[in-house]
């Protein structure tokens, strides 16, 4: 394994363009801190400007028209397999580096992170030669052929909570279909994305196929409005997603995929396996300290079991405070929020929430330094409570009781979010009925906040448009072309 100490943050203060780390043309920079103690990690991270983005696009176009465009499907598959082999040794150092600014516990790397990344690459490695089209007979004198062609230069704007995993997921579908990709990681967590990028060339992908530009919203805007980028995949907030879609429309009508977060409900009926429901709902709010778009932040519990469920849920959330600690310690399960601004945002919502609901556990900072928030639970908030209506993106959950199926469906669906939901019951008919009526892109039965690479992931309503993962993601990166053959010519 590569020595972790060699991944020095100071080595990642450049852009990654055309297979090389290069100094940005822009002179604007910023610094990064470690959220466990707010100590300085690295200075002079570049904020890519118009010249830098234009250079990335030119390199991407050259790669798309050049050697990469001549790769066979089998050659692309071989690149994916070599990348998986490289990551077997390199991923722990890369994600350990990323942990310095994300606060993600390094204990997640060998299991949750590694498996998700590896499975994504292996899944799409098998799709490179399966981009089948359609044939329609000449019943009208014309044979009709339909094929699916790559879009060309694509861009990904990623969030701070899982930057390397999302880089891989988006790159896998994008490159499997023959496109090229420019990645802008969150300004809060760019290091791992910069560190993993050279592994693509080592795996055999030509230079320029995958590039990384760093920066804040201004850099993302340059990608969204660029006239020669043909598709953009954005993961982040609703407000920013709307701006991305607007800029995409005003520029060249580039295709847009948006995954914009959630306020995911978990519905626990009286006949549910309580141990199972508790395990899933607790894990679903504590993963990455609640900084997960599919976090089960609203838990609806039927009144017949409410007393027991709430008691056990609160006990587990209180005990979880003991799992908080140094994210670079592999024995620690829970880390801090990503930075001071996010900590203050969550803290402010919690403070306001104390006037909107009953606070039953947590609600305070953990320790005296760093961006740690104790796991927090509110009970039965007002219908218009901010903590009930808006995404918090922290280890804060809402418990609310209900009596009937109709009542809980009305409450669960009364939101502009529609990303993930869960239903817990032993009644198969009820499970399927409620799953069909929950207004979300993904529904778990006796599970929640779980993703599979084999099936599409995305939201309804303001949780986004388009899909990542599964076969459906391939169509987000291809354009159908119809060919008409005049049989009478």
Cα 402 to Cα 228: distance, rounded to the nearest angstrom? 52
Q: Exposed (0-12), middle (13-18) or buried (19+): which is 255, by Cβ within 10 Å?
A: middle
Cα 47 to Cα 247: distance, rounded to the nearest angstrom? 19
* DSSP-assigned letter for residue 152: S
For this structure, is 79 an active site residue?
no
Which tokens sit at 148? 């699916």
Helix (H) or strand (E) holding 21: strand 20-22
- Say whether 258 sits in a helix, a strand or coil: strand
Residues in contact with 259: Cβ distance below 8 Å, sequence separation at least 6, in sequence order: 234, 235, 236, 293, 419, 457, 458, 459, 463, 464, 466, 468
For this structure, is 259 an active site residue?
yes
Cα 78 to Cα 74: distance, rounded to the nearest angstrom? 6
Marked catalytic residue, from 79, 154, 174, 293: 293
Marked catalytic residue, from 259, 356, 468, 476: 259
Give the other-Cβ count within 10 Å of 347's Cβ: 17
* Cα dist from 334 to 108, 280, 294, 324, whole Å: 10, 16, 17, 5
CA angle 101, 106, 112 (to 5 degrees): 115
Which tokens sit at 270? 């009286």
Q: Any idea which residues carry the catalytic annotation?
A: 259, 293
């Amino acid at each position: 394994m590569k020595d972790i100490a060699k991944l020095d943050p100071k080595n990642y203060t450049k852009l990654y363009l055309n297979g090389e780390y290069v100094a940005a043309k822009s002179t604007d920079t910023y610094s990064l801190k470690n959220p466990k103690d707010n100590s300085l990690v690295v200075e002079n991270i570049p904020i890519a400007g118009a010249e830098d983005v234009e250079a990335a696009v030119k390199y991407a176009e050259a790669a798309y028209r050049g050697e990469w465009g001549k790769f066979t499907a089998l050659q692309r598959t071989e690149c994916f397999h070599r990348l998986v082999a490289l990551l077997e040794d390199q991923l722990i150092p890369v994600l350990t580096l990323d942990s310095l600014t994300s606060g993600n516990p390094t204990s997640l790397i060998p299991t949750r992170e590694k498996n998700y990344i590896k499975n994504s690459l292996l899944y799409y490695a098998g799709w490179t030669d399966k981009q089948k089209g359609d044939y329609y007979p000449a019943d009208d004198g014309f044979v009709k052929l339909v094929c699916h062609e790559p879009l060309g230069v694509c861009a990904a704007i990623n969030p701070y909570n899982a930057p390397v995993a999302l880089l891989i997921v988006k790159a896998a579908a994008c490159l499997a279909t023959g496109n090229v990709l420019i990645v802008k990681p969150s300004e809060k967590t760019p290091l791992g994305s910069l560190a993993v990028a050279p592994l693509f060339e080592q795996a055999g992908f030509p230079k320029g196929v995958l590039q990384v530009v760093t920066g804040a919203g201004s850099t993302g805007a340059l990608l969204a409005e660029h006239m020669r980028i043909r598709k953009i995949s954005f993961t982040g907030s609703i407000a920013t997603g709307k701006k991305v879609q607007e800029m995409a429309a005003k520029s060249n009508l580039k295709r847009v995929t948006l995954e914009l977060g959630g306020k995911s409900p978990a519905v626990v009926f009286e006949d549910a396996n309580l141990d199972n429901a508790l395990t899933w709902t607790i894990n679903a709010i504590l993963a990455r300290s609640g900084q997960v778009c599919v976090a089960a932040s609203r838990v609806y519990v039927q009144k017949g079991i409410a007393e027991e469920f709430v008691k056990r849920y609160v006990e587990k959330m209180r005990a979880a405070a003991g799992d908080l600690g140094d994210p670079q310690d592999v024995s620690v399960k829970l880390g801090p929020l990503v930075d001071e601004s996010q900590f203050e945002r969550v803290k402010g919502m919690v403070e306001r929430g104390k006037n909107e609901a009953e606070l039953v556990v947590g609600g305070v900072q953990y320790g005296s330094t760093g961006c740690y928030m104790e796991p927090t639970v509110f009970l039965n908030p007002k219908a218009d409570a901010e903590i009930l209506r808006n995404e918090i993106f922290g280890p804060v959950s809402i418990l609310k009781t209900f009596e009937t199926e109709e009542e809980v469906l009305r409450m669960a669906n009364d939101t502009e979010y529609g990303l993930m939901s869960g239903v817990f019951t032993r009644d198969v008919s009820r499970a399927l009925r409620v799953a069909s009526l929950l207004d979300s892109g993904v529904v778990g039965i006796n599970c929640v906040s779980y993703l599979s690479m084999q099936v599409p992931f995305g939201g309804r309503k303001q949780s986004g448009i388009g899909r990542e993962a599964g076969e459906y993601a391939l169509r987000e990166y291809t354009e159908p072309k119809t060919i008409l053959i005049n049989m009478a010519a």
